[in-house]
Structure 1
Amino acid sequence: MPTKSVTLDEVDEGLVHALQVDGRASFRLVGEVLGVSENTVARRYRRLRTAGLLRVAGTLDGAALGYSAWTIRLQCLPDAAAPIAGALAARPDTSYVYLLSGGTEISCSVRTRSAEESEALLLRTLPRTARITAVSAHLLLAGYALPDDWAGPARLTEDQVARLTPHHDATEPVTPGPADQVLLDRLAADGRTTHAELAAATGWSEPTVRRRLSGLRRSGLLRFLVDVPPHVLGFHAEARLWISAQPSKLDEVASALATHPEASLVALTTGPTNLLAAVNCRDSADLARYLTRRIGSLDAIRTLETAPVIRTLKRAGTVLPIESASAQYRPVTGVQR
């Protein structure tokens, strides 16, 4: 969906960074940290939220719940890529969906609860779509840098970050169950939904909502991601990189990539390449410098394939369903024929 043209100033960028530290930080605290009023922070947030440029999304840690993470590449007929990408973005199990260079390739991230779900998606659902000409799936084995850790142009000092870092109530960590689904669905849509609104949606009391949220966050299962288009932060050249590195140097290369401020994702994968990276650069010239100087300086890299992102259809996907892993697979048929 196109976003309105809004220029971010220092306060806006400080707000974005603050929410990346704690997506539910109060406007009062953010204002104190930034040196502006609570009303100013609230007004800036509403402006960016209304313009479609900033969203806080609550999400569960799929790895902790036993989900498998996949990155999938699909080659499509020229007139099919956009509608297929849109259908993939509508699926509840996708989190990031991109159209890549040439307009015939799609890259998306998928989480599956079981081998049966993986098989249903990768061996039956996607290959059944005639306008998809090729599919390759890569299991993510380890993450070195993750999208929710990427701060873009970080604006806050270490002291400011420390003030914003949440210290949760002394509640016991909890495991999410079916009763939490309404709560988590609301947080997936808007991670800053108030305790009163969550209480009304769940039928719980506000103290119960507060305890439940605190317990889920203390357990490490519930996190809040900031969904902001990179171009809003001044990064106009996004790309996905598929890298093959010398096996004995794989950890070294991945760790080095994870330190690059341009990298929002670095992951070890299966497949003909063994690393996936997502990078955000200022422009095409900056991307060229990144590839020739930063990537080019890593001698253990054997091959590199670069695919610029031409359209993003989904970021920070919806919350994971929390039924047991043995629950029936419920396909979304938008990519089937």
Structure 2
Amino acid sequence: MPADNYVLSEADRSVIHALQIAPRAAWSRLAAVLGGRPDTLAQRWARMCADGTAWCGALGLHTGETPPCMAWVEVFCTGERDPLRTALLTEDPHVLSVFEVTGDRSMLLYVAFPDLTMLDEHLSTRLLRLPGVTGTRTHLVTSVHRSGTRWRLDRLDRVQTERLIDLPGRGHVPGGAAVPSLRPEDRRLVLAMAGDSRLGVAELARLQGRSESATRRQLHRLENSGTLTHNCRPVPLHSGWPVSVVLWADFPAPDPATPPPVVHLRETVDFMSVTGPHNLAITVMLRTLEDLPGCTAALMRRMPGLRIADTVVVLRCHKTAAQVLGPDGRRIRTVPPDIWTRPVPLPTGL
């Protein structure tokens, strides 16, 4: 992608990086680290959100203390791309991400449900009834070793990063001892923050019909337990890292209870153990497609025994982490990820 197509300035990227570290920090505190005036930073962020080049959303998918049932689903189709099929997938609250991809499958989805029963119901009454769909292949996520919420633009220096880490509004630190727990009464708050996790406490209280003090305690509990995770991202096409690739890989695990070593490459976004013909799904973001061989070589060099079995290049991202993207890659809206509602069956012969 030519450099002149990037619409994010260095100042924009610094703001995004800061919010990736401290997503709910006040602008006055961020200004003390980044420099400039708080109102200038707020206006810059508002402009990015308004034109769809960046967002800060939140996800909370647990049911009680039970982790969600998440999966990668390969969708096999006949014929050409179908706008109706794409629209039904992007508007589906259980489908968090929708990709048009290379290879023998037509689409790749990332989905979430409270349990396996609802996943099976969704597959049989919705996915397999979509126009042109001939079959699916599901890879259940058994462990998330690294998620996209930890990917950073890396525009700030070490001193700035360390100062941001100490700011209020950072939320849960991965690896902490807290146990995620989402109560039914928390779901309205989680869904309200899906498209804008920087909403103020007063607005969140209004949306829930609760007091500000109760909402503040609720938010503090969800963030500190790791139940609510923030995801501040630039639109991939305008981030400087426009190429997304999903790698299916095999890694020998002599002890099933021992997780594979996570490779902290700059390009790594997601690193998950999955079921199916391969036991790892690794998502990477690249500056150009020509960087792919070097990235895969680095992965295999740092993980002796790793075998890359399949490489899936994303041709078009319709939806990512509940955010719907337009043809030019900008965010146009959020589909609240209400994964707890039962799937609505599609009519047969749609």
AA in 2 matched with 1:205: S
Is the counterpart of residue 58 in structure 1 residue 58 in structure 2?
Answer: yes
Is the counterpart of residue 329 in structure 1 residue 331 in structure 2?
Answer: no
Is the counterpart of residue 243 in structure 1 residue 249 in structure 2?
Answer: yes
Partner in structure 2 of residue 205 of structure 1: 211
Q: Give how far 1:187 is off.
A: 1.1
Task: Summarize the alignment of residues 213-232 of structure 1 with structure 2, pairs less than 5 Å apart.
Answer: 213-232=219-238
Of 290, 298, 312, 2:317 maps to 312
SS of the residue 2:128 aligns to? coil
8 Å CA contact retained: 2:250, 2:278: yes
**Structure-1 separation of matches of 2:348 and 2:145:** 31
8 Å CA contact retained: 1:103, 1:310: no
Task: Summarize the alignment of residues 1-337 of structure 1 with structure 2, pairs less than 5 Å apart.
Answer: 7-62=7-62, 64-80=65-81, 82-101=83-102, 105-129=106-130, 131-157=132-158, 158-164=161-167, 166=169, 176-248=182-254, 254-257=260-263, 259-291=264-296, 293-297=297-301, 298-317=303-322, 320-321=337-338, 329-331=342-344, 333=346, 337=350
**Structure-1 separation of matches of 2:128 and 2:196:** 34
8 Å CA contact retained: 2:267, 2:285: yes
Give unmatched runs, 5+ long, in structure 2: 172-177, 323-334
**Structure-1 separation of matches of 2:104 and 2:18:** 35
8 Å CA contact retained: 2:71, 2:140: yes
Measured at CA, do residues 9 and 167 of structure 1 come closer, stay the same or move farther in structure 2, by a change above 3 Å?
closer
SS of the residue 1:164 aligns to? coil
Count of matched residue positions in the alignment of Structure 1 and Structure 2: 325
**Structure-1 separation of matches of 2:73 and 2:262:** 24
Measured at CA, do residues 133 and 180 of structure 1 come closer, stay the same or move farther in structure 2, by a change above 3 Å?
same
Measured at CA, do residues 148 and 240 of structure 1 come closer, stay the same or move farther in structure 2, by a change above 3 Å?
same
Measured at CA, do residues 81 and 305 of structure 1 come closer, stay the same or move farther in structure 2, by a change above 3 Å?
farther
RMSD: 3.1
**Structure-2 separation of matches of 1:335 and 1:52:** 36
User: For structure 1, which segment, 154-163 or 65-74, has the greater mean C-alpha deviation from structure 2 after superposition?
Assistant: 154-163
Give unmatched runs, 5+ long, in structure 1: none
**Structure-2 separation of matches of 1:320 and 1:94:** 8
Q: Give how far 1:322 is off.
A: 7.8
Q: Give how far 1:117 is off.
A: 0.4
8 Å CA contact retained: 1:101, 1:307: yes
Measured at CA, do residues 320 and 285 of structure 1 come closer, stay the same or move farther in structure 2, by a change above 3 Å?
closer
TM-score, structure 1 normalization: 0.85
